[in-house]
Amino acid sequence: MADLFFDEWMKSFMEQWNAEPELSDALAQIGFNSVIGYGFDGEDQPRGVIAVENGKATSAGAFNGEELNWDIRCSDAQWQKWISKPPGMMGLGMAFTSGKMKFKVGDYGAMIKDPRMAGPFIKSFTVMGRS
């Protein structure tokens, strides 16, 4: 497996994203467009980024200064835990409230209250495990 959130890993994540109907098709139904950064807590910028247009990932790779709609951070250990065993809604909520998962950009509260976004967000962790 390539290093988490580096260019090769992000490109694999993009392929897996587009291959998962519960993620890409579900987000296409609501016209979801975003640039999402992923990285580690305590670092100045995310390591990887994925651009999504109408639910489909259109580009991915190492972060290169893109303007983000979402910037999600956790410790390496937390990411590894979720990649090996994807969290459910309660696990994500606990991680957010305890500070184990941080949104440097984006509104976690608004996203998690919208089942059209929350379900695909949770599915994205399963997809990460395939990358």
Residue 57 lies inside a defined structural domain of this protein: yes
Residue 35 lies inside a defined structural domain of this protein: yes
Residue 102 lies inside a defined structural domain of this protein: yes
Residue 45 lies inside a defined structural domain of this protein: yes
Residue 87 lies inside a defined structural domain of this protein: yes
- Are 59 and 50 in contact, with CB atoms under 8 Å apart? yes
Residue 2 lies inside a defined structural domain of this protein: no
The token pair that represents 113 in the structure block:
């209250």
Q: Count Cβ atoms below 10 Å from residue 85 Cβ, excluding itself.
A: 12
Q: List pLDDT tens digits, range 71-117.
A: 999 999 999 999 899 888 888 888 888 999 999 999 888 887 888 88
The average pLDDT across 9-29 equals: 96
The mean-pLDDT minimum among 9-23, 60-74, 109-123 falls in: 109-123
Q: List pLDDT tens digits, range 64-77.
A: 999 999 999 999 99
- Residue 1: per-residue pLDDT: 45
Domain range enclosing 71: 7-128
Residue 1 lies inside a defined structural domain of this protein: no
pTM: 0.93
Q: Domain of 73: which CATH number? A: 3.30.1050.10
Whether 36 has a pLDDT exceeding 90, the answer reads yes
Q: Which amino acid, one-letter code, is at 110?
A: A
What is the domain count for the chain? 1
Residue 69 lies inside a defined structural domain of this protein: yes
